Amino acid sequence: MNSRQETGSTRLDDAARAGWLYYVAGNTQDQIAAKLGISRQTAQRLVSLAMSEGLIKVRVDHPIANCLDLAARLKSRFALDLVEVVPSDPTSSSTTIGIAEAAAAEIERRLRSEAPIVMAIGTGRTLKAAIEQLPPMDCPQHKVVSLTGNISPDGSAAFYNVIFTMADRVKARSFPMPLPVIASSPEEREMLLNQPMIQPTLALAAEADVTFVGIGDLGPKAPLYEDGFISESELKALQKAGGIAEIVGWVFDREGRMIEGITNDRVSSAALPSREKSLVIALAMGERKLPGILAAVNRRLVNGLITDERTAEALLAG
């Protein structure tokens, strides 16, 4: 590649980054200028260039070189089957911006397939944000199955269980899990999972071709705790046992090993589908989630990852 081509490619990279900050992250041109260390006029020109070059179609449609490089390195380092890295907003603390849009694009791509598939979905804020990005779709050939129960401890619908949100947008056969997220005892869990109406849903989840899950941290503001599924004493017990994160309620340690007992023997979620025969994609970013993401990819609890630049760089440095 000659210097003129390199300059053109770099300028498109800059335009794509500016376009992402403007259209996806919602920054003003003054904020973009400050974050990229350029003048407001240059920021304005880059945003205009992103539009004129056809890079903007709801989401940025030009692969940013650094994101591609990080994705390739993550894929090689952790033997992952799918990796997508999106740009980072340098000053944002959001754990959904960018990856929700990327996940929505990947989900939509899978659902556009004419061949029937089984798609399993977890729960959580990032996945809910992704599902809300989906356009209306008519794909009756597919089946969408929830990995988690959808009933909160007070009997209400679990707010971040996304199977019903998805059913509003995607006309496919939906299979919810009409169970509490965490049962009151191991015996109750066993009884519930053995119900005739639940067994086919569990079997379908095990056959999923592709699965999308979030990763919840187990810090002081752990989603399981903040959403009322576990008590403060249970959270502290899980932390003391080495728990650092969870996927669909299953808590694991820094080595990616499941914690024995405490709440794990009461989780009514389906087991994660096979990573050898299917694709299990985690949507996760941010410092709080970093130990859990690292454990999940190291232990191959997941074999796909959608994350952002900062998180990708931290994973590779770890």
Average pLDDT, consecutive stretches of 10 residues, N- to C-terminus, the chain (318 residues): 55 90 90 93 93 73 81 96 93 86 93 94 91 90 92 71 85 91 92 93 95 95 89 96 96 96 93 94 96 97 97 93
pLDDT at 254: 97
Tokens of 152: 């909160």
User: How confident is the model at residue 3, as a pLDDT?
Assistant: 44
Q: Give residue 2's pLDDT.
A: 44
pLDDT of residue 190: 94
pLDDT score, position 318 = 74
Q: Give the model's pLDDT for residue 8.
A: 62
Per DSSP, 306 falls in state: E
Task: With CA atoms as reference, report the closest residue to 98 among 190, 27, 184, 173.
Answer: 27
How much is the pLDDT for 57? 67
